């Protein structure tokens, strides 16, 4: 049991901007100043996780996995002396546990005095996006896919940008930031309503278009990851992620662990280097099998 006062598990998170599902604002820990400025959701999570690790509270029950030669991403701390309510929203996040390679706790939207529980980072992301956009989605996990390719074209201090692809169902959806990536993957894995660049919904067409296939084959300018979902437990995903440029695979136990695996690979700067594509060159049969 932690000897720290329970108040140290509370964070106040202000949202100053929310454009294209990218959050910016300030983190205040247990009401203390100065606060910490964050420029995207992944940076917010990593800063909070660093504080939890320093306090050893709440205890992390699982050590995060990593690709060989990579390190856990550690963003720089950008202090902010003045902390006030956010222009768009202010959240109080209370993390009770760090089980299953994720977080569990409560999130309160202070302006509306609305509190919701979350069992994972993925669930917390969806709650925040619903509050900030007003969009609520009905899930239908029976129609979702099980595999996708995430092509990352740019990465800067936790902000990644690219596309989520599944060539077999002509699915190609752009994303920006961690919330955008989660949203695009939920479209594909849970909701089953994602649409291709040609406007064709999954399952409506079995012919791989040249545009989708070309994007799938080339992958991302920065890095490319192939993800397969095996289970859906604890309000998150478990599966296998393959770093396409190296061929290395790792199992992940949550969306949080998956995104940290990706960030750690991107931090070492795979850059614009040309890598031999050992799996996808002129081999549509394997892609159809994955689909």
Helix (H, G, I), strand (E, B) or coil at 9: helix
Q: Could you list the pLDDT tens digit for every one of the 291 residues in the chain?
A: 445 567 788 999 999 999 999 999 999 987 677 899 999 999 999 999 999 998 888 999 999 999 999 999 988 999 888 878 889 999 999 999 999 999 999 999 999 999 999 999 999 999 999 999 987 765 655 567 889 999 999 999 899 999 999 887 888 899 999 999 999 999 888 876 554 444 444 444 456 667 777 778 888 999 999 999 999 999 999 999 999 999 999 999 999 999 999 999 999 864 444 344 444 444 445 544 555
Q: Are 150 and 126 in contact (CB under 8 A)?
A: no
pTM of the model: 0.85
pLDDT of residue 83: 78
């Amino acid at each position: 049991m932690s000897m720290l006062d329970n108040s140290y598990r509370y964070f106040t998170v202000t949202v100053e901007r929310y454009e294209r599902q990218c959050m910016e604002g300030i983190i205040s820990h247990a009401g203390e100043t100065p606060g910490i400025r964050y420029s995207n959701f992944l940076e917010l999570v990593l800063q909070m996780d660093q504080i939890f690790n320093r306090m050893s509270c709440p205890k992390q029950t699982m050590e995060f996995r990593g690709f060989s030669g990579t390190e856990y991403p550690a963003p720089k701390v950008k202090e902010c002396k003045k902390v006030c309510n956010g222009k768009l929203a202010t959240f109080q996040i209370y993390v009770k546990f760090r089980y299953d390679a994720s977080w569990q706790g409560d999130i309160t939207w202070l302006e509306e005095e609305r509190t919701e529980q979350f069992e994972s980072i993925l669930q917390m992301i969806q709650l925040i996006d619903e509050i900030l956009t007003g969009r609520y989605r009905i899930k239908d996990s029976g129609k979702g896919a099980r595999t996708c390719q995430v092509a990352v074209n740019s990465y800067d201090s936790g902000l990644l940008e690219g596309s989520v692809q599944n060539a077999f169902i002509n699915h190609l959806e752009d994303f920006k930031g961690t919330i955008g990536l989660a949203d695009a993957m939920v479209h594909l894995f849970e909701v089953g309503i994602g649409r291709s660049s040609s406007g064709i919904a999954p399952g409506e067409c079995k012919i791989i278009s040249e545009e989708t296939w070309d994007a799938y084959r080339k992958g991302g300018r920065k890095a490319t990851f192939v993800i397969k979902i095996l289970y859906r437990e604890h309000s998150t995903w478990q599966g296998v992620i393959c770093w396409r440029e190296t061929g290395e695979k790792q199992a992940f136990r949550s969306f949080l662990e998956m995104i940290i695996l990706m960030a750690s690979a991107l931090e070492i700067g795979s850059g614009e280097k040309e890598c031999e594509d050992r799996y996808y060159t002129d081999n549509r049969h394997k892609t159809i099998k994955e689909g």
